[in-house]
């Protein structure tokens, strides 16, 4: 099972690398960059990392962590070379950030079970965008 898990992680990483332009497209022979799809593969690996925390062998955990770090760095580099700004372009130094409004408490509703809250979690990451 360890070998299969590592193969799965490496296949996902290879797909992300393909869309980061690190591997030439097999059909055209040229590197192509599609940051949206690359981000999807990186986010999937991040989700797997979070969901399997504490259940991996040290080898599996080390490989997954190393692959994620490498892909995240490559994503930042690819997004910088693709002309995608890493931060919002118009930030006024004197402008105070507006705090997000606090969610209104609803006293008559019972608290949600932990399983429902866990089900609704979304895994989104920003790698320099």
Q: Of 73, 83, 87, nearest to 16 (Cα)?
A: 73
3-class state of residue 22 by DSSP: strand
What distance in Å separates the CA atoms of residue 29 and residue 16, rounded to the nearest whole number? 17
Q: How many beta carbons lie within 10 A of that of residue 125, not counting itself?
A: 13
Compute how many other C-beta atoms are within 10 angstroms of the C-beta atom of residue 25.
12
Evaluate whether residue 51 is within a structural domain. Answer: yes
Residue 35 lies in a domain: yes
Q: What is the tally of structural domains in the chain?
A: 1
Helical segments of the chain, H only: 2-19, 35-51, 58-81, 114-120
Query: Is residue 117 one of the residues assigned to a domain?
Result: no
pLDDT > 50? residue 25: yes
What confidence tens digit (pLDDT) does each residue in 45-96 have?
999 999 999 999 999 999 999 999 999 999 999 888 765 444 333 334 444 4
| 122 is a domain residue | no
**Main-chain dihedrals φ then ψ at residue 20, nearest 5 degrees:** -90, 0
In a domain? residue 15: yes
Give domain status of residue 52, yes or no. yes
Report yes or no on 89 lying in a domain: no
* Selection from 81-85, 91-95, 107-111, 118-122 with the highest mean pLDDT: 81-85
Residue 14: the pLDDT is 95
Domain holding 12, by residue range, is 1-81
pLDDT bucket at 8, cuts 50 / 70 / 90: very high
């Amino acid at each position: 099972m360890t070998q299969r898990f590592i193969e799965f992680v490496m296949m996902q990483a290879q797909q992300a690398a393909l869309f980061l332009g690190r591997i030439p497209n097999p059909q055209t022979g040229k590197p192509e960059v599609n940051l949206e799809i690359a981000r999807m593969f990186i986010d999937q690996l991040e989700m797997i990392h979070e969901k399997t925390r504490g259940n991996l062998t040290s080898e599996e955990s080390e490989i997954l962590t190393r692959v994620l770090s490498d892909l995240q760095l490559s994503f930042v580099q690819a997004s910088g070379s693709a002309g995608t700004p890493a931060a919002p372009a118009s930030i006024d130094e004197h402008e105070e950030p507006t705090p997000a409004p606090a969610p209104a408490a609803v006293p008559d509703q019972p608290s949600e079970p932990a399983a429902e809250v866990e089900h609704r979690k979304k895994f989104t990451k920003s790698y320099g965008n």
